[in-house]
Amino acid sequence: MSKYIGILTSGGDTPGLNAAIRGIGKAALKKYGMHVVGFRDGFRGLMENRTMSLDGNSLSGILTIGGTILGTSRHKPNKMPVGGKILDMTDVIVENYQKRSLDALVCLGGGGTQKNAYHLFKNGLNIITLPKTIDNDVSMTDITFGFDTALGIAVDAIDRLHSTAHSHHRIIVVEIMGHRAGWLALGAGISGGADVILIPEIPYDLDSIADSILERKRSGKSFSIVAVAEGAISKEGSGKLEAAKQELEKTRSKNKKADIKAKLREIDDQYTGNTTLIAKELEALTGLESRLTILGHLQRGGTPSAADRLLATRLGTACTEYINEGTFGVMIAAKGEGTEAVPLDKVVGIRKTVPPDHPWIQSARSIGICMGD
């Protein structure tokens, strides 16, 4: 009997999502004779039973298109805004899945999606996931799709900023996405020839950065490119954040888990994303004019790179094999040339950050890039 599968995309969109939907859909239809339905706008659409048919026609011509044809949202099954309240809608979702007699549900997303998908798996759904995000911070996979495209966009931007920085003898600070991980800023900074790279994993000191820029000036280079991850944090900020976290830990038994989480997020926001300040301070410390460019959502837009199309297709098609053999509660990870089904409990709750001794960091230091410390 042919199987019925659902697909949804959740969290921030990334280039390559449509390539993945196409890979899953076409392999499911052509190789296994399965029926495929798409849920609109992530877990929200699953809860509201809003669907889109995924057949030969709708799966055609989407490989090169950015974003997701299904739409996405950041809504969580167990914390869904409904009628002005935040409600646990898990039961409604389980009911919708059953009403449609689904044999499997494929969830495409980053760290948050893996967690929400795992929640549904524990509530009895046959869940299988794929890792996508421009941040590359999902654990247990070599890489996530979307990262390579965003990397290319950020490198192209740094290339362009170089000529204007050079012409005006300026410092140009460029803010790069990546949430609380430094993969994107580090990769783009090295590939784009940045002189300073600041990532969340290595707290920075503005005086050291200013010294390295002045040293460049003394050697005849009157401009500098400073690539800053949006989650970068100063040494001072990192110390205060740690102290605030420890203080909150002491009250853990008295306060609700959600309140502590919200408070931590608030403190975190206070000390990260200070690129405007970085640009101003570096100008004051070096006497060199400085400008700030925030790349923002440009990094998530447009057509996926060839590497992302290939990765998304590879993971998408492998996913149908696992569905066919009945393997669920797993994320299909990229491992070398192949794929691996990693149990979701090994994926959720762990953010893959850049290890301080990572080869990319070693290479950056070897060629004289200032890492801010």
Catalytic residue numbers, as ranges: 135
Stretch that binds ligand F6P, among 1-9, 122-130, 172-180, 284-292 (CB under 6 A): 172-180
Q: Are 167 and 158 in contact (CB under 8 A)?
A: no
Residues 224-283 that bind ligand F6P (CB under 6 A): 230
Q: Which of 28, 80, 134, 213 binds ligand F6P (CB under 6 A)?
A: 134
Q: Are 173 and 226 in contact (CB under 8 A)?
A: yes
Q: How far is the CB of 150 from ligand F6P (least distance, A)?
A: 8
Kindly tell me which of 195 and 230 has the beta carbon lying closer to ligand F6P.
Answer: 230
Distance separating alpha carbons of residues 58 and 154, to the nearest angstrom: 31
Kindly tell me which of 149 and 286 has the beta carbon lying closer to ligand F6P.
Answer: 149
Q: Please tell me whether residue 76 binds ligand F6P under the rule CB under 6 A.
A: no
Residues that contact ligand F6P, how many (by CB under 6 A)? 10
Q: Please tell me whether residue 139 binds ligand F6P under the rule CB under 6 A.
A: no
Kindly tell me which of 60 and 270 has the beta carbon lying closer to ligand F6P.
Answer: 270
Q: Which of 10, 116, 133, 353 binds ligand F6P (CB under 6 A)?
A: 133
Q: Which of 5, 8, 9, 12 binds ligand F6P (CB under 6 A)?
A: 12
Q: Are 203 and 238 in contact (CB under 8 A)?
A: yes
Q: Which of 41, 103, 135, 148 binds ligand F6P (CB under 6 A)?
A: 135
Distance separating alpha carbons of residues 46 and 304, to the nearest angstrom: 26
Stretch that binds ligand F6P, among 59-67, 133-141, 260-268, 309-317 (CB under 6 A): 133-141
Give how far Cα 188 sits from Cα of 137, 234, 293, 298, 357, Å. Answer: 15, 20, 14, 14, 18
Give the residue carrying structure tokens 């003898």: 169
Q: Please tell me whether residue 179 binds ligand F6P under the rule CB under 6 A.
A: yes
Q: Which of 177, 188, 206, 282 binds ligand F6P (CB under 6 A)?
A: 177
Q: Please tell me whether residue 131 binds ligand F6P under the rule CB under 6 A.
A: no
State the residue number with the nearest CB to ligand F6P.
177
Q: Please tell me whether residue 300 binds ligand F6P under the rule CB under 6 A.
A: yes
Kindly tell me which of 28 and 134 has the beta carbon lying closer to ligand F6P.
Answer: 134
Q: Determine what percent of the chain falls in helix, strand and coil, rounding each to the nearest 5.
A: 45, 20, 35
Stretch that binds ligand F6P, among 65-73, 127-135, 337-345, 350-358 (CB under 6 A): 127-135
Residue 168: exposed, middle, or buried by beta-carbon count in 10 A (0-12, 13-18, 19+)? middle
Instruction: State the Cα torsion 266-271-275-281 to the nearest 10°.
Output: 140
Q: Please tell me whether residue 110 binds ligand F6P under the rule CB under 6 A.
A: yes
Residue of 4, 46, 9, 8 whose CA lies nearest to 28: 4
Distance separating alpha carbons of residues 73 and 227, to the nearest angstrom: 29
Residue of 124, 144, 114 whose CA lies nearest to 43: 114
CB atoms near residue 30 (< 10 Å): 12
Kindly tell me which of 59 and 181 has the beta carbon lying closer to ligand F6P.
Answer: 181
Q: Please tell me whether residue 304 binds ligand F6P under the rule CB under 6 A.
A: no
Distance separating alpha carbons of residues 14 and 6, to the nearest angstrom: 20
Kindly tell me which of 102 and 264 has the beta carbon lying closer to ligand F6P.
Answer: 264
Q: Which of 45, 77, 178, 203 binds ligand F6P (CB under 6 A)?
A: 178
Q: How far is the CB of 299 from ligand F6P (least distance, A)?
A: 7
Q: Which stretches of 128-274 are DSSP H helices? A: 147-168, 183-192, 206-218, 235-250, 257-271
Residues 215-234 that bind ligand F6P (CB under 6 A): 230
Kindly tell me which of 288 and 295 has the beta carbon lying closer to ligand F6P.
Answer: 295
Binding site for ligand F6P (CB under 6 A): 12, 110, 133-135, 177-179, 230, 300
